[in-house]
Amino acid sequence: KCRTGPLDIVFVIDSSRSVRPFEFETMRRFMMDIISNLDVGPNATRVGVIQYSSQVQNIFSLKTFFTRADMERAINSIIPLAQGTMTGLAIQYAMNVAFTAQEGARPLHKRIPRIAIIVTDGRPQDRVTEVATQARNAGIEIYAVGIQRADMNSLRAMASPPLEEHVFLVESFELIQQFAKQFQDKLCGVDMCVEREHGCQHSCVSTPGSFYCECNPGYRLNVDGKTCSPIDACADGRHGCQHHCVSVRGSYSCRCRAGYYLSQNKRSCTMIDYCSFGNHSCQHECVSIPSGHYCRCRSGFTLQPDSKSCRATDLCNGVDHGCEFKCVSTEGSYHCVCPEGQQLQADGKTCSKCGAGHVDLVMVIDGSKSVRPQNFELVKQFVNRIVDLLEVSPHGTRVGLVQYSSRVRTEFPLNKYHSADEIKKAVMDVEYMEKGTMTGLALKHMVEHSFSELEGARPLSHNIPRIGLVFTDGRSQDDISEWARRAKESGIVMFAVGVGKAVEEELRAIASEPVEQHFSYSADFTTMTHLVENFSLNICPEEGKGETEIRSPCECEALVQFQTNTVAILQSLTEKNILWARSLAQMTARLEDLEKQIANKK
């Protein structure tokens, strides 16, 4: 048997019309004689057979059969094609199809020899030189066997070098069976690993006429083709170790840094919980770290020099408490209080809002390029600070928002949202427009659309105040005077807020009378929070019109209380005067009676 190592062998058999039936039978026996001496199997030598004439036919591929009996049955069932002699076409098929992984050829990196045995009896009817060169360059070793009328030049053009070992010419079909034994010896050769000093560090693998070295698992062959080096299994980065990878003879193991232990999956690391040992002595909280642990105090307490005990701190001075009026510290906590006459709101920080009246408020904000994205975010925060002042509801205050640059866009109308939270979320979702500053166009849009009943403004007959707030940071690129005038003539109370390069003349033109109470200015965006306070004082006037009133709840409650107390005092005084008058009349009557009695005695 030929046991020099696994091979991938494909027979390329000429079945043209020049090959007579009895001659084709000798070709069958030639193939079977060679196969009978091969060690065939899926991990040993694999065999495929194709025949050709004017076309190519696959008899069986390298992956079809793995026993000699199955191969012999398939070879015996071949029916010759009996047409032309397209040898170049057959070599092309062997290269592109027969020796592919899909058809059962082992990958090139396994270095299993790919051998094509071409058996032909005549001159090719197509070109073979170029396609044979391509096949040899693709790693296919070609043996060219010519019988009887075969063209020697064509055989030499097809075969691999050295030609004296790969080109054979047999005088007749009768002699091909005798040639099979000689060819098998050439194909198998001697065991080069035994006959030669191979120099392989680990193991030697024989191939026909040669050999190659292989390394044990966990090692790779060096560039000298003989020595081996351990494979660094950590180098490719696919180990999955969270901390450290340690390579060990082609494999690896994971290790953790100090203060961690390896988890059950043998890859991830878990920090050692030093606090769980129970000896930390921390008064409040123990926090584990890789190097040990430390003590931490709860909010409102400070860690003492012993690094274990805690002491209460004045949280009002140490945290951003957010109290609108005053912060009061308690042990480990704090709370907010409001001035007399005002109530703390549900957020626990702010005091009574301007909620006694109802308004329709439309804010028109400048989204031009000069504002810049980071400042536009501050503008949105400014808008939400104003919303925080209001009692928003369908029957209370309604809020709409318009943004403008070179064009105008309604972000949401007055009837879109019915709570402050909805409005504030929608404001933060507004996208910055950039481009120009068409303030006049924005005023026109506000008058014609924003305060229409279609977009949620309540009818003028309801006497709900309409308030427009225009926010800008620069000079308008169009005229504002006409639509500022129309806005005020239509009953809209106009407020103008300017920042940075805003033009005072334009702000005054927009603002309602008295102008000083209806326009505000800040030098830059980061210092404009005080404008919110100015706006809150002016948007809550002492008296409203019609069926609702807009008052400061603090002023209103104080006025009512004063009025109630005064009326009570006046009523008390009146009652006392009536009693005193009655007593005086009774005394006068008694004096008159006494005078009469004295006169009668005289």
Q: Once rounded to an integer, what is the mean pLDDT over residues 170-194?
A: 66
Q: Helix axis angle, 68-76 relative to 21-36, nearest 10°?
A: 170
- Would the pLDDT of 464 be above 70? yes
For residue 507, the one-letter residue type is: L
Q: How many CB atoms are located within 10 Å of the residue 453 CB?
A: 11
What pLDDT does 190 receive? Answer: 61
How long, in residues, is the chain? Answer: 602
- Whether omega before 553 lies within 30 degrees of 0, making that bond cis, reads no
Cis before 208? omega within 30? no
| Domains 314-354 and 360-539 in one fold | no
CATH fold, domain 314-354, is Laminin (2.10.25)
* Cα 111 to Cα 211: distance, rounded to the nearest angstrom: 10
Q: Are residues 438 and 445 in contact, defined by beta-carbon separation less than 8 angstroms?
A: no
Query: What's the confidence (pLDDT) of residue 544?
Result: 36
Distance CA 309, CA 303 (A): 6
* Least confident stretch, 246-250, 387-391, 460-464: 246-250
Enclosing H/E stretch for 427: helix 420-428
The distance from CA 231 to its chain's CA centroid, rounded to whole angstroms, is: 36
Q: Which residue has the tokens 């398939």?
A: 74
Q: Coil, helix or strand for 122?
A: coil
Per-residue pLDDT at 406: 93
Gap between the Cα atoms of 335 and 328, Å rounded: 5
Higher per-residue confidence, 595 vs 185: 595
| Residue in this structure with the two tokens 């050769």, named with its chain if needed | 189
The residue assigned the tokens 């034994």 is 181
Query: What pLDDT score does 72 carry?
Result: 95
CA atoms of 227 and 221, how far apart (whole Å): 6
238-251: b or e for each residue (b if 16 or more CB lie within 10 Å)?
ebebbeebebeeee
- Cα–Cα distance for residue pair 82/72, rounded to 1 Å: 21
Model confidence band, residue 519 (pLDDT cutoffs 50, 70, 90):
confident
The pLDDT confidence band at residue 555, using thresholds 50, 70 and 90, is: very low
Q: How far apart are CA 456 and CA 15, in angstroms?
A: 92
pTM of the model: 0.38
CA–CA gap between residue 228 and residue 226 (Å, rounded): 7
CATH numeric code, 360-539: 3.40.50.410
Cα–Cα dist 444/446, whole Å: 5
Residue 411 near residue 401, CB atoms below 8 Å:
yes
Please write the tens of the pLDDT for every residue from 252-286.
899 999 989 999 999 999 999 999 888 889 999 99
Residue 540 tokens, joined: 């809550």
Q: What angle do CA 296, 301, 306 make, to 5 degrees?
A: 55
Contact 472, 500 (CB under 8 A): no
Greater pLDDT, 96 or 535:
96
Please, how many CA atoms are within 13 Å of residue 113, restricted to the half-sphere of its CB? 23
Query: Where would I find the beta strands (DSSP E) of 500-564?
Result: 519-522
Pairing of strands 408-412, 167-170: unpaired
Mean pLDDT computed over 455-480: 90
Token pair of 425 as six digits: 């979320």
- Percent above pLDDT 70 for the chain: 81
Tell whether the torsion through CA atoms of 455, 461, 462 and 465 is positive or negative.
positive
Token pair 């006429």 in the structure block, residue: 209
Two tokens, residue 595: 């005078």
Structure tokens at 565: 């107390």
Query: CA geometry: angle at 453 spanning 449 and 457, to 5°?
Result: 85
Residues 6+ apart with CB under 8 A from 185: none
Closest to 105 measured CA to CA, from 132, 140, 58, 144:
140
Q: Kindly write down the DSSP assignment for every residue of 230-256, as one continuous string.
A: E--TTTTS-S--SSEEEEETTEEEEE-
Rounded CA separation 324/351 (Å): 7
Q: Options 3.40.50.410, 3.40.1360.10, 3.40.1440.60, 3.90.650.10; which CATH number does 7-187 get? A: 3.40.50.410
Cβ contact 476:438 at 8 Å? yes
- At 105, the amino acid letter reads A
Average pLDDT, the chain: 83
Residue 369: DSSP 8-state: T
- Position 372: which residue type? R
User: How distant, in Å, are the alpha carbons of 306, 364, 366, 430, 542 from that of 370?
Assistant: 56, 16, 9, 17, 38
Q: Is the pLDDT of residue 354 over 60?
A: no
Domain boundaries defined on the chain: 7-187, 314-354, 360-539
Question: Between residues 561 and 288, which one has the greater pLDDT?
Answer: 288
What mean pLDDT do residues 315-326 have?
78
**Is a pLDDT exceeding 80 seen at residue 303?**
yes
Cβ contact 386:425 at 8 Å: no
